[in-house]
């Protein structure tokens, strides 16, 4: 780096470099690091902003959803124009993050992370931050991270409450050992049913971001070895010792060096290419109710050419809104289909997966 570039770099991160545990060496490590943030709603957007401003060299964000007006109360990277344009959250977030810090790489993936496609977003990640809104995805991420030796920074928020823990393969337990029995309870108490305060989000995002900055700047001994549950409204903070890895657990009981290709991973790669085939068979269809949101996500084993479908629905006289990332169609009885090119459909105004599948089958069998 030439002198002027160096000065700009030192100036930009001056206050962080002056913080002794980071210093110039830590800042340089951050510049070489790669972070994956899964979910770019309230927690994810805040996490992405922290890491982008901190100068993490590559920030990859993954999200399956698009911006709606009800997000604006707490999701700090989005504005009214994003909601009006129905931009995918990953895309809208990446635009803002690039404007905040043009010297790092921001990568946005519009996708629903599942066990078929997890390998690609995890590629090269030094750390994974939890910005998801459901236990199933968190547990999946925890397992994938432990299989690859990558730390997973868990965070969850509902109402005025939040919790967080830094889970490190080989040292701590995995998420299933931590919240396994609570996972179902958590599903019943999420931000869509209990509401959520933006201050609780920021509190948890700060707890997560600081652990990521410690890890990525080389301050691994400083990682907090506890898990925190807090309620900002009543103000109570509970800190409990984080259990070590549990010998009997198939996920955290074994130690795997980072990025060793496991047979499990190879199997995933195989599944991924299988999932990528263009078979129009509906036998691989999955429908998942999104808790408390009156929406079901249906994943079809096809890809959608949005323009073709837009023309079809226009011809049939349906109201629709479209951009290059998605197509939203208003159906009778206030149900909506939101089509993504990767074969996903968010069926809104529907809580029953069977009804969602029925609608997809009726409207989306052929263009
Ligand atoms: Zn475990």
Residue 33: per-residue pLDDT: 98
58 φ, ψ to 5°?
-140, 125
CB contact at 8 A, 288 and 345: no
Query: CATH for 286-364?
Result: 3.30.310.10
The pLDDT profile of the chain, 367 residues, written as one tens digit per residue, is 556 678 888 899 999 999 999 999 999 999 999 999 999 999 999 999 999 999 999 999 999 999 999 999 999 999 999 999 999 999 999 999 999 999 999 999 999 999 999 999 999 999 999 999 899 999 999 999 999 999 999 999 999 999 999 999 999 999 999 988 555 445 556 656 789 999 999 999 999 999 999 999 999 999 999 999 999 999 999 999 999 999 899 999 876 544 444 444 444 433 433 333 333 345 567 888 886 678 999 999 899 999 999 999 999 999 999 999 999 999 988 899 999 999 999 999 999 999 999 999 999 986 6
CA of 366 to the centre of ligand 1 (A): 45
- Establish whether domains 13-241 and 286-364 are of one fold: no
CATH number of this structure's domain 13-241, picked from the four choices 3.40.50.1370, 3.20.190.10, 3.40.50.720, 3.30.360.10: 3.40.50.720
Residue 266: per-residue pLDDT: 41
Q: Residue 19 contacts by C-beta under 8 Å, 6 or more apart in sequence?
A: none
CA of 146 to the centre of ligand 1 (A): 9
Considering only CA atoms, which of 263, 248, 76 is closest in space to residue 176?
Answer: 248
CB contact at 8 A, 17 and 8: no
Q: Structural domain boundaries of the chain?
A: 13-241, 286-364
Which residues are paired to 157 by β-bridges?
A: 162
Question: Among residues 191, 252, 291, 360, which one is catalytic?
Answer: 191
Active site (annotated) includes residue 360: no
CA of 216 to the centre of ligand 1 (A): 23
């Amino acid at each position: 780096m030439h002198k002027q570039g160096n000065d700009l770099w030192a100036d930009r991160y001056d206050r962080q470099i002056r913080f002794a545990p980071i210093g110039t060496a830590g800042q340089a490590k951050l510049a070489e690091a790669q972070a994956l943030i899964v979910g770019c709603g309230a927690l994810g957007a805040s996490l992405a902003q922290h890491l982008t401003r901190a100068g993490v060299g590559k920030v990859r964000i993954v999200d399956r959803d698009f911006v709606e007006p009800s997000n604006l109360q707490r999701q700090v990277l989005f504005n009214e124009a994003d909601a009006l344009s129905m931009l995918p959250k990953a895309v809208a977030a990446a635009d803002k993050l690039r404007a905040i810090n043009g010297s790092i790489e921001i990568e946005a993936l519009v996708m629903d992370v599942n066990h078929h496609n997890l390998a690609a977003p995890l590629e090269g990640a030094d750390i994974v931050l939890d910005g998801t809104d459901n236990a199933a995805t968190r547990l999946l991420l925890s397992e994938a991270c432990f299989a690859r030796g990558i730390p997973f920074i868990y965070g969850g928020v509902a109402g005025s409450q939040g919790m967080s823990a830094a889970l490190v393969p080989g040292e701590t337990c995995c998420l299933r050992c931590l919240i396994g029995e609570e996972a179902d309870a958590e599903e019943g108490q999420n931000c869509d049913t209990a509401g959520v305060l933006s201050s609780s989000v920021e509190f948890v995002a700060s707890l997560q971001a600081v652990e990521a900055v410690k890890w990525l700047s080389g301050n691994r001994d400083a990682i907090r070895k506890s898990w925190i549950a807090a309620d900002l409204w009543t103000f109570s903070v509970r800190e409990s010792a984080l259990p070590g890895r549990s010998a009997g657990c198939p996920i955290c009981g074994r130690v795997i060096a980072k990025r060793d290709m496991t047979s499990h991973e190879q199997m995933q790669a195989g599944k991924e290419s299988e999932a990528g085939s263009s078979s129009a068979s509906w036998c691989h269809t999955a429908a998942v109710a999104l808790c408390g949101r009156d929406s079901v996500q249906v994943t079809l084993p096809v890809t959608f050419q949005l323009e073709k479908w837009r023309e079809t629905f226009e011809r049939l006289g349906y109201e629709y809104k479209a951009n290059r990332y998605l197509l939203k169609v208003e159906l009778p009885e206030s149900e909506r289909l939101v089509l993504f090119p990767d074969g996903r459909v968010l069926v809104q105004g529907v809580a029953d997966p069977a009804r969602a599948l029925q609608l997809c089958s009726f409207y989306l069998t052929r263009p």
